A and B are shown apart, each in its own frame.
Chain A
Amino acid sequence: MTTPPVVETAEAVNADDEILFYRRKRKHVKDLVAGLNLTAMMDIMTILLVYLIKVYADAPESITLNDDLRPPSSTAPENLVPSVSILISKSAVLVDSKLALRLKPGGEIDSEDPSNAYAPLSKALAGRVEAIKYIADNGGSPFDGNLMIIADQDTPYDLISNVLYHAGKAQFTTYRLVVQKGGASTP
């Protein structure tokens, strides 16, 4: 039994072509999405990441600005040279990020023995110098006597002066006041 030949009208042929066309188009788009090349984007991302890490690493001393610590602005042109740091905020004095003194509001030292209030600072600085000298004796870089002072803009001069005095007693000879780049914004 032979099947009778199918007589395709012009409209039926056109409809089949259209379906085939759309099927092929959909398949083509699907292939395109599946094969999206991510290599170029990966390259951009990697370069961006390397650049950002370098920018971050170039900041020798990163400090977090907040109400407790806001160094004054200055037109001083010199770039920062990392060294031993004394950080004077509104609430504390730190030597290389270690707490040395607690401060009351107004810059007064919170100490049980006011006659010997700066003793913990002297001890912390002497310990730091001793550690650097020990490292130097064992092949490290020598002690250069440099000291960075990172202080809040409202710190009274009395406190700054006393801190420098005790740093001098601990054999620090060169002081560098750390400031924000920019013009003066002071009373």
Chain B
Amino acid sequence: MAGGGGGEEDINLVPYMDIMVNLIMFMLVVTAYIIELRQAPVLAPSYASSPAGGQQEKAKPYLTVAISSKSFSVLGSTPEVPAQEIPKQGDKYPYEELTQTLRSYKSQYSVAENMVLMADATVPYSVLVATMDAARGSVKEPLFPGVTLGLAVSQ
């Protein structure tokens, strides 16, 4: 177009390409650090003497799993459902044993599908979530999908 002529020139795409490449690099790096999140629903804590979340089937007894720094304790809401303690194995909580115990409770006694979960004040959140996983069971054999959190117990 020298001299004001009416020639046709291509648009210079190189700066646009630069921007695009930088944007793609940035997005690639950012998406690599996006973690996949899930949610575990819990029922409202019961601060009164009513059973799990106030929505428990009244006819059925319910289970309470208590987490201490030394063991899991499985407790029934009626005398017909016996209590059982599952001690820690070294430093590890026995999640698989808890799942098996809850499975046997569910098959032997007619207990509600919601359970109460309570823990010592110092029990870490990760242990709470792992215990909920152990109590939930699998997709094919669900155990206790509904969990109500109880108050923290101070030792």
- B-contacting residues of A (Cβ < 8 Å)? 38, 41-42, 45-46, 48-49, 52-53, 55-56, 59, 61-65, 71-81, 148, 151-158, 160-162, 164-165, 168, 173-181, 184-187
Contacts and interface: CB of A to CB of B under 8 A. Distances in A.
Q: Which 6 A-B pairs have the closest CB atoms?
A: A158-B121, A52-B27, A153-B126, A72-B126, A76-B40, A184-B130
Interface of A is mostly: mixed
B124 A177 contact: no
Chain B interface extent, by class = 35 or more
A24 B13 CA distance: 28
Nearest to A167: B44
Interface stretch (B29-37, B57-65, B73-81, B101-109): B29-37
Contacts of A52: 24, 27-28, 31
B152 A71 contact: no
Interface string B46-63: 010000000000000000
Given A74-B132, A160-B128, A148 B152 contact: no
A168 B40 contact: no
Given A157-B120, A157-B128, A184-B133, A53 B27 contact: yes
Nearest to A41: B17
Contacts of A174: 41, 44
B120 A186 contact: no
Contact of A65 (B35, B93, B128): B35
A180 B36 contact: yes
Contact of B44 (A79, A155, A173, A187): A173
B45 interface: yes
B129 A179 contact: yes
A129 to B, nearest CB: 15
A154 B124 contact: yes
Interface string B130-155: 10111010010000000001111010
Contact of B34 (A56, A79, A160, A186): A56
Contacts of A158: 121-122, 152, 154
B91 A187 contact: yes
A179 B37 contact: yes
Contacts of A74: 38, 40, 129-130, 132-133
